[in-house]
Structures are given as C-alpha cells and as structure tokens.
A and B are shown apart, each in its own frame.
Chain A
C-alpha cells in the first residue's frame, strides 16, 4: 500500500455503494428502456419505446400539467419565499426564529401525511375548507380547481424551505452595500431591487433548479390528493411513470419515460444556469 493509493481506499466504500445502488440501476433501466416485454419474454425494441412516447397523448398531457405548475406555481412560490426571507431577516420582526421555524415546519411533514391532510381539508362534502367557506366547492373534483389545490398544497409545503435557503444567502450580503445604497439615496425598493436581488442570485438559481426538478418528478402529492384526476388534470410525469411500471407492468416503457424525464430535467437545468447563472 502506497501513500498514493490510500485516498482511493477511503473513497472506495462510497464508490461501491454508489455503483451498486445508483449506477447499476441507472444503467439497467436504460437497457430496459430499449426492450419490450411480452409473455415474460424480453425482445430488443431499439427506440420503439421512445417513439411511442411521442405518440402518447397522456404523456403530453402529463408534460403539460407539469409545465403549468412550473410556469405558474414555482415563480409564485419563489416570489413568496423571497418576500418571506426578507421578512425573516428584518430586525423589525419580533420572534424571528419562531416565524422561521413555523414556516419551515411544513417541510418536515411527510409527503403522504400532508397530502392526506389536504385531501381531508378540501373534501367537497365533508371538508373543513368548504365548511368555513359555507359552500361546496369541488376543490379536488373539478379539473381546474384540482390543479389549483395541488398548487396550494405544494406552496404550503415548500415555501418555507425555499425561504430558509434564500435567508441563508441573504445573511451573507454585506450590510455595507445597503449603507452605500442608502448614501446614494436609494429607498427600500431600490435597495431590494439592486442589492438584495443580485445578492440572492445564486440562491435563487439553486431554488429554481431544485423546484424544477421537484416539479417534474412530482408524485406523492397528486397520487394522494387526486390520483392524477379528474380526467388527468393533475397527472404528472412521475405518476404516469409509476402507473406504467406498477399498474400496467410495462417496465420498458416506464424506463423510457424516466429517461425522457431525466433528459428534460438536464436540459431545463442547463437553460436555467445559462439564464440565471451570471458571473460567478
């Protein structure tokens, strides 16, 4: 054993675990995506599964649903999180750590648990929300409202988490910059616009990328809340993948969906780095 080989020895356990539980399944599922199964026999199908994707209206519906959440819910949530982060950081706010904790708490709730709580709250006939509102709004059973409800649930769960990430970054912005801005005559809004936002940029990029990944992989919430319904209004790619693998036993096709999803996430991630990345 030489001095040079020791570092490799140290990383070996991690590499082995990674190879066994990440790399192997990733490669195996790629292989699977090129095969079709019928009557227990695997036949090589080339890119057939991928070609089928392009023709599959449900896949496009799922993609469309994810896009809507991405374009509407994610920006709203991040704006909200930014506002919260600024508030959390403000010396005017009393009991800051209590508020921070309060908004972060939803994050530690299990996905399924909070999904069930929302589905009970939003139940049309017996839900607390409709009881408070005093009417029977079909929160989960109307195609549009189901999307709204899903967005509400996601926002409740993830806003605090994003706010905490943003807050951490916010605290690294030197106060001198604000002092200088004030000397130059900038008001609160201009200071926010020209000091806070640029300072937050790396954290905004991180939260955007994380939210994008989360949205595209979204599964637990629609699974528990709406089952992807009504009429596929809340079907996500993650759910469609699950249905194909575990409801329809179509593992090859499900793997193709997974790879399409991974590619999409990669492409979107690249795009976001280009747009938001800036100089680092």
Chain B
C-alpha cells in the first residue's frame, strides 16, 4: 500500500471530472426569453409535431397560405417520444431553441405548465377564450385548469375496442352483446380454445412507458385515475385493484400475448393476428387499416364493455393540444395558425380524412365523413361510434405534473403482476407509497 502519487492523483481527478460531467448535464434556468406578440398576419413560424399529425399539418399549409400569404410556416416532424425530451430541454434552457408552436399530449401538458410556468404563452389574451365551448367535454379544463389558457385541444381520443370479428365468429361469440370485462374474459377463453388467438396483448415487461394503456383504460372507465382532482394519489383505490385484477385474470388464463418491444412488436402482432382485441383509442383505427388493408371486412369496432355491469363504456382517454412557446417572438402569428387548424371545422375534417385523427372540435362532426360506413370495419359507422363516446359525460382526469412518475410505478406494478404473479392489491399499495415518497403527495385511502 502506498499513498497516492501526483500522477495517480491527477488520474483520479480526471475520473472525478468525468463523473461530475454527468452532473453537468442537469442544469436548468428559470427565466424565459422575453417572447412577443408580433404581427398576427405576418411572420415566420416553426411548428413541432410528430409523424402523422405533422404530415397532416403540412398538408394544410397550402390552404392556410391562401388565407394568410404572409405567414410562412415550417412544420418539423420531431418524432414521438423524442419531442418530449426536446421540449423539456428547450424549456429548461429558458425557451431558447423552441419552435413557436408545440404539439403537446395530455400526459405532458400539466408537467410543462407546472415546472415551467412561463414556458407556454397564455392564449387567452390572443383570443382563445371565445372558443371555450367549442370542444369535447372536459377538455377546456385540461387546457385551462386555472383560467390561463395553456393550449388549445386538437385530438380527443375515446377508449375503443377493435376486434377481429371473423375470429370471434369462429369461436361462436357475439362480441356486441358482451356487457362487462368479466364476460370478455370468458369469451376470450372460448376464442383461445377455438382459434388459438390471444384475447389481447400487453407489453408485459413494460419496455415502453405506454405499457399501462390498458390498465389506465379500465381505470378511466370507472371514472378514476392515478390522482384525484386535488392532486392526491389514488393509485391503490378499489377501482385500481379491480382493474389490475382483471388483467391478472386474463394473464393467468393465458389470454394475454406479450407485446414487449414497443411499436414494431405491436405492428407485427397485428399483421400476424396474435390477438383478437385491440383496446386502443379512436386514433388507432386508422393504424390498423393501414397495417392490414387486406383484412377489410374482418374487423369491427365498438366501445369497450363496462368494468361493472351498467357502468360507463365511454372515456376520453387522451387528448393532444397545440400550444405557443412563451419564448416565441411571433405569438400572434402562431395563434393565427393554431386558430386556423383547431377551430375551423374544414381543417379538422381534412385532418380526419387524412389520418383518422379525431377532432376535439365538436362542430367538425357535422361533416358527412364521420357518418359514412367504413368498408374496413365491416360497414360500421366508426365515426359515429366514437362520437357517441365523446358526447357521453366524461369526468376530468388530473394527470398532474407527476404523471410520468406515476406511470413508471404503475408499469412496474403491472410487470410484477404479469411476470411474477404478484398480488394486485399489494403491488398497487407499494406503488402508491413509492409515488408518495418521490413526490411528497398524500395517498388517499
């Protein structure tokens, strides 16, 4: 044993610097570069969105520029989930480098608003408040919980239940008559015996954060969420235990296929027909149609059965929004664009025709496109099915600023149940306690 020599010390110093380099990666700033309104009919603005929606925004530009020739819009497809990190980084840097218009999902909006109060511009003074009643139920509270209008709703997705009608027919099951998820499980057993197909798929090891989508749907059908409206944790409510127990029953009966590996695994599973039910929201119909166009007429869609007999079958499970960056120097022009895209029925109808993105704007639903029978979905009027869900009363869900943390503990709990056979009540209680430790929120029991 010898004491450190000079060179050794230098090396160690180098090692420490490398370690601290990571520390350096986590800086933040609070101030936002002073944004400005600018001219509402003139300017150059950038828009951040992802894949399908970005393509639809681009497709709208020629029409938009006929009305506003002096606003030059650049739509950038940042990709999802990359866009969230990019927005976070920009906001942490006081808004520098952010686009003028940001497309933000309901899962991120409250977090941005709480952590970066000036990160998004208040759309109220720009004229947003007059559209207050134009959108589907509960959405205005999502974008303007305390009066300040942080964004304007774009999509409103209701929980759906897409299924392979041909497979269920083979198993002798009438899917339209299924009233509860318990009945679905029984139907799933018949289906598995007759066709070998799984009932549905879940990303069991939670390789992606959205692995808990199905659990969340079951929870929202019961009008509950991870937080109550006051922000307290309700993660181990009886409803949550019911939801996770249903999933455990399905899994124990061998009805759940594994969708680990994210989007490509999901696509493969649909192409191979691994599972007969896709409990996904409105927007997913267009995805199925584009993945397996040759299966037209084999698919049908309905609203999900209730969790308890007579319970709700409609839930607005997510929405996305357009917001203006607080740092934007062209806020008025950005607002002009947002207003054009989100409050003009013709824009929303065009977007729906393109990618099946369901508008939050209720007036858009008067267009015939929502009332046409769909050849792919066996002649059903898919638009009307989801419209009925949007019109049904839907409670507001509080995603809170800690949704990402909640999602993490929830997916971990679900993984324990699916891979290790853990007890739903127990893992949810642990999850709730862990979330409380991390966030300082109270658990309501």
Contact surface of A with B, Cβ cutoff 8 Å: 22, 25-26, 28-30, 32-33, 37, 39-40, 42, 52, 55-58, 119, 123-126, 138, 140-143, 146, 206, 209, 213, 216-217, 226-227, 229-232, 238, 241, 243, 245-249, 251, 254-255, 258-259, 261-262, 265-266, 269-270, 273-274, 277-280
A247 touches B8 (CB 8 A): no
Interface majority SS (helix, strand, loop, mixed), chain A = helix
B2 / chain A contacts, CB cutoff of 8 Å: 277-280
* CB of B52 closer than 8 Å to a CB of A: no
B405 touches A229 (CB 8 A): no
Shortest CB-to-CB span from B93 to chain A, Å, is 12
In the complex, A124 Cα to B262 Cα: how many Å? 13
A28 / chain B contacts, CB cutoff of 8 Å: 24, 27
* CB of B65 closer than 8 Å to a CB of A: no
* CB of B100 closer than 8 Å to a CB of A: no
B437 touches A56 (CB 8 A): yes
Q: A241-B22, A249-B111 are in contact. Are A209 and B416 (CB under 8 A)?
A: no
In the complex, A36 Cα to B329 Cα: how many Å? 30
A-B contacts, 24 listed (Cβ < 8 Å): A26-B24, A32-B26, A37-B28, A40-B117, A119-B261, A124-B258, A125-B258, A125-B268, A217-B18, A227-B208, A229-B206, A229-B411, A229-B415, A230-B205, A232-B412, A241-B22, A247-B405, A249-B116, A255-B23, A258-B23, A261-B23, A262-B23, A265-B18, A277-B1
In the complex, A261 Cα to B25 Cα: how many Å? 13
Shortest CB-to-CB span from B371 to chain A, Å, is 40
Q: A29-B27, A124-B258, A247-B404 are in contact. Are A231 and B415 (CB under 8 A)?
A: yes
B15 touches A213 (CB 8 A): yes
A251 touches B17 (CB 8 A): no
Q: A22-B17, A143-B419, A231-B415 are in contact. Are A249 and B205 (CB under 8 A)?
A: no
A209 touches B268 (CB 8 A): no
A217 touches B26 (CB 8 A): no
B116 / chain A contacts, CB cutoff of 8 Å: 40, 249
Residue picked from B15, B404, B416, most chain A C-beta under 10 Å: B15
Q: Which of B84-92, B121-129, B386-394 contacts A (4 or more CB under 8 A)?
A: B84-92
Residue in chain A with minimal CB distance to B257: A125
Give the A-B contact count at a CB cut-off of 8 A.
181
A124 touches B260 (CB 8 A): yes
B17 touches A266 (CB 8 A): no
Q: A140-B205, A243-B408 are in contact. Are A258 and B12 (CB under 8 A)?
A: no
Shortest CB-to-CB span from A44 to chain B, Å, is 14
In the complex, A258 Cα to B83 Cα: how many Å? 24
A206 / chain B contacts, CB cutoff of 8 Å: 11
Q: A229-B415, A251-B27 are in contact. Are A280 and B8 (CB under 8 A)?
A: yes
The 9 A-B pairs of least Cβ separation, nearest first, read A230-B205, A25-B24, A258-B23, A262-B19, A141-B205, A40-B117, A265-B19, A249-B115, A251-B28
* CB of B5 closer than 8 Å to a CB of A: yes
B207 touches A217 (CB 8 A): no
B111 touches A140 (CB 8 A): no
Shortest CB-to-CB span from A203 to chain B, Å, is 13
A26 touches B404 (CB 8 A): no
User: Interface digits, B397-433 against A, CB 8 Å rule (1 contact, 0 not)?
Assistant: 0000110110010011001100110000000000000
* CB of B438 closer than 8 Å to a CB of A: yes
B204 / chain A contacts, CB cutoff of 8 Å: 141, 230
* Partner pick for B16 among A231, A245, A266, CB 8 A cutoff: A266
A251 touches B92 (CB 8 A): yes
In the complex, A247 Cα to B204 Cα: how many Å? 21
Q: What would 18 more interface pairs be, CB under 8 Å, given A230-B204, A270-B12?
A: A22-B21, A32-B28, A37-B28, A39-B117, A55-B437, A57-B437, A140-B207, A209-B15, A230-B206, A245-B26, A246-B89, A247-B404, A251-B28, A255-B23, A269-B16, A277-B1, A277-B2, A280-B7
In the complex, A138 Cα to B204 Cα: how many Å? 11
B15 touches A265 (CB 8 A): yes
B15 touches A258 (CB 8 A): no
In the complex, A123 Cα to B24 Cα: how many Å? 35
Shortest CB-to-CB span from A277 to chain B, Å, is 6
Residue picked from B25, B85, B118, B419, most chain A C-beta under 10 Å: B25
In the complex, A85 Cα to B411 Cα: how many Å? 44
In the complex, A58 Cα to B438 Cα: how many Å? 10
In the complex, A259 Cα to B402 Cα: how many Å? 23
Q: Which of B229-279 contact A (CB under 8 A)?
A: 258, 260-261, 265, 268
A125 / chain B contacts, CB cutoff of 8 Å: 258, 261, 265, 268
Shortest CB-to-CB span from A139 to chain B, Å, is 10
B21 touches A226 (CB 8 A): no
A42 touches B30 (CB 8 A): yes
In the complex, A26 Cα to B209 Cα: how many Å? 31
* Partner pick for B115 among A26, A37, A255, A258, CB 8 A cutoff: A37
B92 / chain A contacts, CB cutoff of 8 Å: 249, 251
In the complex, A247 Cα to B107 Cα: how many Å? 11
B21 / chain A contacts, CB cutoff of 8 Å: 22, 26
In the complex, A56 Cα to B439 Cα: how many Å? 11
In the complex, A48 Cα to B411 Cα: how many Å? 28
Residue picked from A227, A230, A241, A262, most chain B C-beta under 10 Å: A230
A33 / chain B contacts, CB cutoff of 8 Å: 23
Residue picked from B16, B17, B114, most chain A C-beta under 10 Å: B16
Q: Which of B1-58 contact A (CB under 8 A)?
A: 1-2, 4-5, 7-8, 11-12, 15-28, 30
* CB of B434 closer than 8 Å to a CB of A: yes
Q: Which of B92-142 contact A (CB under 8 A)?
A: 92, 111, 114-118
Residue in chain B with minimal CB distance to A29: B23
